[in-house]
Amino acid sequence: MCAIAGIQGEEISNQLREMLETLKHRGEDGSGVFSGDKLSYGALDEMEIPRGNFALGHNLLSIVGREVVQPLADGKLVLVCNGEIYNFRELKRDFHLQTNSDSDCEVILALIKKFYTGSLREALKETIKYLEGDYAFAVYDGVDLAVIRDPVGVKPVYYGIDQNRYGIDQKLQAFASERKALWKIGIQEVETLKPGYMLYNWEMEELEENFKAIAERFNTKFNQDLRGKTDVKPYLKDKTAIKPYLKNQLETRLIDSVKKRLRGLSRVGVMFSGGIDSTILAHLSREMGVETILYTVGREDSADFKFAHKSAEDMGLPIRLGKVTMDDVRDYLPRVLNAIEEFNLMKLGVAMPAYLAAEMAREDGIKVMLSGQGADELFAGYHRYLKFYQEQGEEAQKNLNTDINNLYQVNLQRDDAVTMASGVELRVPYLDLDVINMAMNIPMEYKIKGEDDQLRKCILREVARDLGVPEENVKRPKKAAQYGSGIDKMLRRVLKDEDILKNEDIKFYI
C-alpha cells in the first residue's frame, strides 16, 4: 500500500510536495512525481519538482520487494496506484501483457494501454472488469484525468475543489489518499470518491461496472452453475438440503481469498480477538505455511485480552498482547484522532486498539495484517440483525446488503487510516468479491438459527468447525471491538477531562 495524490492549478509544485510530506507515513520507501510532463524520483526532501499546472505524486511502501517507484508511464499514459491487484499474474498471462517488472501496478497500466483507442474513459470501463483486488489509482493521458477505487471501497480516495483560489473561476483541484493532505493545501470542503464511481476530469461519474452489477452477474452465474450440478439437483426441491453445498462453496472461497492475500508473504500479522472471524484467518494463515503472529490490544482484565491469550496457546501461535492503561488512552488519543480525521466516539473506540496493534506489528517488522472486517455484515453477526430477522424473515438480507454497501465510509476508511499511520497494510479477506457474493446468496435461515439465536453467523461457525477451529472459538459470542477490548469505557472517562479537550490536536477535530 502507498499514498497517491494529484493536483491541478497554477504553480502547484510546492503544494504537491506538501501533500506528499503529509502522506509520508503511508510510504517511506521512495517518492515520485509527474509534473511539467516530466517524471522525477527520489527522496522527497531532496527532489526538485518541475513547475507545471498539473501533477501526480506517489509515496511507496515496499512490501514484498516487487513494487516499483511510481508514477508509471507508458507512452502518453501516466499512472499512480495504491493497493494490491491479486490476479495480476493471471492477467499478465491471459492478455500477454509486456511489463518491465513483476509489479501489479504495471499490469494495470499495460491493461489500460491494451484497451486504449483514444478514449481514456472507455479504456478504464473495460479494464476494471478484470481487476481483482483492493485499489485506488489515477491515470492521465495528457488530456483527461481519471481516478478510480475498488468496488467495495477498501482503499480510500478523497478529492476537493477550491473554486476561487486564484480569483474568479480560477480553481485549485486535488485528490489524495487522506483528507489531511487536502486540508494541508487549504482545501477545506473534502469529498469521498464513492465505490462504483469514477472521478473523471474532476466530475463524478457512475460506473457500469459497480458493486450491484458485479453482484447480479455473480448471482446469475451461481444459479446457473447450481442448476447444472448433478450432485446438487436432487436437493433443489428441498431448500434445507442444499446447505452442505453452500457451506462447501463458502469454505472454498474463503480459503482462496486468504491465499490470494498471502501470496508472496513469509510473515503476516492478524488482528485477533479470539472471535470466530479472526480465528478463521489465523488458522488458515498457519495452515498455508506463513509465519503468523497474533496481535491483541485491550485492558488487561478485558474479555478479548484473556480469551485471545488462551486461544493463541490452544492454536500454538505466537501472540503480542498490548496492555492498555488510562494513560495510554490519553497519550494516544491525539494520534488516533489525527489518523481517522474525525471526532466520532464509536470510531475512536474501534480505531484505538487497531492503531496500537499496527504499532506493535510495525515494531516486529510486519508490513501486512489481516482483519476480519466485513464478516459481521455478511453473516449477520450483530445483534440488530436478529431483530431484523424476527420482523422480516428472509427480507432481512436487504439490511445486510445495505451495511456492506456502506462499509467503506463506516469502517474501511477508519481501518485503513489507523494501520497506515504505522506503515502497515491491512487486508480484509472476507471482503473479497467472491466471498461477498457467495455470502449474499446464502439464505438468512443459514445465518441465524431461529428467532432466539444469540450467536448468529451459523454457517460461518460450521465452516470454522469443519476447518478445525477450536470449539471454544466456534461458540464464542460476538462482542464489538471497542467493548471486548475494554477501551470504550476508558475512552469515555478520558473525554470527561476538560483539560484534554483543550489540546490543540484534539480541538481541531471537535
- Number of H helices and E strands in the chain, helices first, is 21, 18
To the query of whether residue 81 is one of the catalytic residues in this protein, the response is no
486 torsion bin: left (phi>0), alpha (psi -120 to 50), beta (else): left
Q: Are 235 and 241 in contact (CB under 8 A)?
A: yes
Query: What's the burial of 480, exposed, middle or buried (CB within 10 Å: 0-12/13-18/19+)?
Result: middle
Round to whole Å and give the CA distance between 364 and 318.
12
Q: Are 380 and 400 in contact (CB under 8 A)?
A: yes
The Cα angle at residue 371 between residues 367 and 372, in degrees rounded to 5? 165
Round to whole Å and give the CA distance between 449 and 442.
13
Q: Amino acid letter at 23?
A: L
Which of 84, 198, 196, 209 is closest to 135 using CA atoms?
A: 84
Strand partners, 147: 138, 199
Round to whole Å and give the CA distance between 319 and 313.
8
Q: Which residue in the list 2, 81, 105, 458 is annotated as catalytic?
A: 2
Round to whole Å and give the CA distance between 140 and 36.
13
Exposure string over 361-398, b if 16+ CB within 10 A, otherwise e: bbeeebbbbbbbbbbbbbbbbbeebbebbeeeeeebbe
Round to whole Å and give the CA distance between 72 and 493.
49
The verdict on whether omega for the bond into residue 244 sits within 30 degrees of 0, i.e. cis, is no
Q: Are 242 and 236 in contact (CB under 8 A)?
A: yes
Q: Are 463 and 275 in contact (CB under 8 A)?
A: no
Catalytic residues: 2
